[in-house]
Amino acid sequence: MKNLILVLLALGTFSCSSSAQKSMADNKDCNIEKVKKKDKEWKAQLDDIQYNVARKSGTERAFSGVYWDNKKEGVYKCIGCDLPLYSSKTKFKSGTGWPSFYEAVEPCNVKEIKDTSYGMVRIEVVCARCESHLGHVFNDGPKPTGMRHCINSASLSFEEEKM
């Protein structure tokens, strides 16, 4: 399983090209009020896994998160500040074991940052309001955008669409 994850990470690294970098929104035209909290406030709000992922840029194990296989209709929100991030309408089965979306519900709600950790070059995705780590974005997704926002369930809450 570890080897599979390493291969998936390596494939993601090499698929991250200039087109992914061109999609990086600098959020300078976005008017989102920031949420700032002290570390002890985050620890009180989040469980251990959520804190490690959202505040320390950790990653949950593939196929272990509550939303990777969620098929319900609704909106995925930031676990830190409740900002709407992704719609179930843009969720797709990527086979990676993490919830994957081809675009954010609103471009201003996510911020993309170049990530060179672990000897790789990737694009990190964080919440634009509270800067919680969400996951990474790659340019190997489906149409219409060609992007794959590979997001940790631990960084999300889910609001089911009312029928």
Annotated binding-site residues read 78, 81, 127, 130
Reported as a single tens digit per residue, the pLDDT across 89-120 is 999 999 999 999 999 999 999 999 999 988 99
Query: What Rg value do the Cα atoms of the chain yield, rounded?
Result: 15
Sign (positive or negative) of CA dihedral 71, 72, 77, 80: negative
Can 16 be counted among the known catalytic residues? no
| Residue 88, SS3 per DSSP | helix
> Range of 77's domain?
2-160
User: In sequence order, which ranges of the chain are alpha helices (DSSP H)?
Assistant: 2-15, 18-22, 39-45, 48-56
CATH number, domain containing residue 119: 2.170.150.20
Q: Which residue has the higher pLDDT, 163 or 95?
A: 95
- Cα–Cα distance between 98 and 59 in angstroms, integer? 10
Q: Note if the pTM is more than 0.75.
A: yes
Reported as a single tens digit per residue, the pLDDT across 24-69 is 445 557 888 999 999 999 999 999 999 999 999 999 999 999 999 9
Peptide bond between residue 144 and the one before it cis (omega within 30 degrees of 0): yes
- Cα–Cα distance between 109 and 39 in angstroms, integer? 22
Annotated binding-site residues for Zn(2+) read 78, 81, 127, 130
Name the catalytic one among 16, 30, 108, 150. 150
Domain count, the chain: 1
